[in-house]
Amino acid sequence: MATLNLKNINKSFGATQVLFDIDLAINDKEFVVFVGPSGCGKSTLLRIISGLEMATDGQIIIDGDDVSEAHPVERGISMVFQSYALYPHLTVYENIAFPLRVQKKTKEEIHAGVMEAARILKLEERLQFKPGALSGGQRQRVAIGRSIVRKPKIFLFDEPLSNLDAALRGDMRVELSKLHRDLDATMVYVTHDQIEAMTMADRIVVLNGGRVEQFDTPMALYHTPNTKFVASFIGQPSMNFIDAEVTGLNGGLEVTLEGNVPMVLPVDTTDAAVGDRVEVGIRPEHVFYAPGAGVLNITVDILERLGGVSMTYGGVAGCEKFCAALDGEAPISEGHVVPLGVNPEDCHVFTKNGIALKRQKLPALV
């Protein structure tokens, strides 16, 4: 059992506040990922959970106990650092054994603990090496090994894969997900790589400027982002936004996109009024090549044929850098104007303040 509740966490360094009123309830055995742009406070929040940093205000509650003032070990957490933070003068064995030695475990207990961690992380062959003689992926595994020997209730990871090459990162991603399943522990994972976030998380916390933008499952973030920030942050390539004006509220939101394109979008219209300026969000993967029935006309600047898809970049009315993921075989070419279609159900609408109007026709998965 390990639930983690953050209550109203605020953090300031001197006069600058970096975290604002963070409230989160993380369930037992959940894999939660913090994402957000650089400097948004992900590491700081993780360090506050770990006990390395004290919150200026607010409470940290683990399994119902207020541990705001407790030592990391009493909190039952362990942490894998953004840098590996391995002890370079100690062997892999001693690095992994370090937390057990601190706890004054017997020789046998230490040996058993280290060997088990080494087995899980496939480090048996490397136990007598120093960290300097290991590859990046192996170092990362040693760092993880050091965090699992103590059998903590909550694992904290701060961008553990950010320095590995793409292929290795993919492997480690799978291994970490497996580790989560095998250890049955609660994990909090920081990254600014949204693929890591989408693939590993049970739920994702999107942070922006020290505030929680949204805390939800990956699919919910993708299909029902609460704000324009989340909409543009989640999804690769990013969502396109086109300025529009509300022209009516009958049977959905009637809008006229820049370039005089009328559309009726199935979203909640409670907070909308005729004449409002809004932004319509369209994901690149939701537009398609539509000869004769185009809603948007894109002037193709760059065309990248990737096989399955043709990434098409160019301008449409109201959006100079529009990106469309079209069919791999779409008969289009650079320099031409191409008609694109989009289903109204797939569109997102954001007010001028960046708040989403609730979509009303959602895919079955959400």
Partner 1 sequence: MMDRYSLLEKIGLYIAIAIFLTFVLLPFFEMFMTSLRPLDHLRSAPYKFWSDEFSFDAYSNMWVTVPKLGRYIFNGVFIAGAVTVLAMIFVVPAAYAFARFEFKGKAVTLSLFLAVNMFAGAVLLIPLYRVLRTLGLLNTYFAMIIPGAAFLVPMGIWLLKSYLEKIPKELEEAAYVDGASKMYTLRRVMLPLAAPGLVVVGVSVFIGAYAQQYLFAITFNQNSDYMPLPAGVFEFIGYQDVVWNEMMAASLVGVLPVMLIFLFMQRFLIAGLTAGAIKE
Ligand X SMILES: Nc1ncnc2c1ncn2[C@@H]1O[C@H](COP(=O)(O)OP(=O)(O)OP(=O)(O)O)[C@@H](O)[C@H]1O
- Contact residues toward partner 1 (CB under 8 A) are 50-52, 71-73, 77-79, 81-89, 98-99, 102-103, 130-134, 136, 139, 146, 150, 163
Among 43, 95, 227, 310, binds Mg ion (CB under 5 A): 43
Query: Which among ligand X, partner 1, Mg ion, none contacts residue 348 (Cβ within 5 to 8 A by kind)?
Result: none
Residues 190-229 that bind ligand X (CB under 6 A): 192
Distance CA 156, CA 140 (A): 14
Residues 41-60 that bind ligand X (CB under 6 A): 41-44
Q: Which stretch binds Mg ion (CB under 5 A): 41-49, 60-68, 89-97, 294-302?
A: 41-49
Q: How far is CA 211 from each of CA 15, 20, 93, 220, rounded to the nearest angstrom?
A: 17, 5, 40, 19
Convert 88-124 to b/e letters by CB count within 10 Å (16 or more is b).
eeebbbbbbbbbbeeeebeeeebeebbeebbebbebe
Query: Which among partner 1, ligand X, Mg ion, none contacts residue 222 (Cβ within 5 to 8 A by kind)?
Result: none
221 exposed, middle or buried (CB, 10 Å; 0-12, 13-18, 19+)? buried
Residues 135-194 that bind ligand X (CB under 6 A): 192
Report the nearest approach of ligand X to the CB of residue 22 (Å).
12
100: left (phi over 0), alpha (psi -120 to 50) or beta: alpha
Q: What are phi and psi of 252, to 5 degrees?
A: 120, -175
Report the nearest approach of ligand X to the CB of residue 42 (Å).
4
Of 41 and 131, nearer to Mg ion (C-beta) is 41
Alpha helix stretches (DSSP H) within 86-165: 92-102, 107-120, 136-148
**Residue 226 is which amino acid?**
N
Binding mask of the shown chain, residues 15 to 44, with x at each position contacting ligand X by CB under 6 A: ---x-----------------x-xxxxxxx
Binding site for ligand X (CB under 6 A): 13, 18, 36, 38-44, 192
